[in-house]
């Protein structure tokens, strides 16, 4: 099968070696993790600074940065990190998957976090942001956030940040 886009090949970059068919030694992939300690369900943690730090460490000037959180009761997205928006966001999530309805997951496993899984699946575990001139291409009020959705408070969350691009 012929590759339609040979210049975009993350599998080769995963080895942290330059792509030989580009003809330059300036394509790379850099990966690092952030460890986040959360306290409670509904907590929204601004991780923009940590993501930007990893971007700068990578030396990538133009490309993509991918943020992925491990776990099925946590999510990442972008939002304006402002008290009013955060309150609205939490309210919207409580309407999407309310506390008061029965969840089959709770019946089967007894851990009470069925709504946590539903909310996390709707938001998603990952986010990709373009990078230009060594900076995230986010809007003025747009921050990268981790959302703790598990009803079982006090979790250690691992965020995998992968930067792929040209130096």
Mean pLDDT by 10 residues, the chain (167 residues): 38 36 66 96 96 96 97 97 96 94 90 92 97 96 97 92 94
Q: What beta strand segments (E) does 1-104 contain?
A: 27-37, 44-46, 62-69, 74-79
Select from 78, 66, 70 the least CA-distant residue to 142. 78
Is-above-0.85 flag for pTM? no
**For residue 101, what pLDDT is reported?**
92
**For residue 152, what pLDDT is reported?**
87
Which domains does the chain carry? 30-166 (2.60.120.460)
**For residue 60, what pLDDT is reported?**
95
Q: How far apart are CA 42 and CA 63, in angstroms?
A: 32
């Amino acid at each position: 099968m012929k590759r339609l886009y040979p210049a975009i090949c993350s599998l080769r970059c995963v080895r942290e070696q330059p792509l030989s068919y580009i003809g330059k030694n300036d394509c790379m992939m850099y990966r690092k993790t952030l460890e986040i300690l959360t306290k409670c369900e509904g907590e929204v943690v601004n991780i923009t600074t940590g993501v930007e730090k990893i971007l700068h460490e990578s030396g990538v000037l133009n490309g993509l940065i991918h943020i992925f959180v491990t776990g099925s009761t946590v999510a990442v997205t972008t939002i304006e990190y402002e008290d009013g928006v955060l309150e609205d966001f939490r309210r919207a999530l409580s309407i999407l998957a309310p506390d008061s309805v029965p969840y089959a997951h709770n019946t089967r496993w007894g851990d009470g976090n069925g709504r946590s899984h539903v909310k996390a699946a709707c938001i998603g575990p990952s986010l990709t942001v373009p990078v230009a001139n060594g900076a995230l291409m986010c809007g003025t009020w747009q921050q990268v956030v981790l959302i703790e959705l598990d009803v079982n408070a006090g979790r250690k969350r691992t965020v995998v940040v992968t930067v792929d691009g040209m130096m």
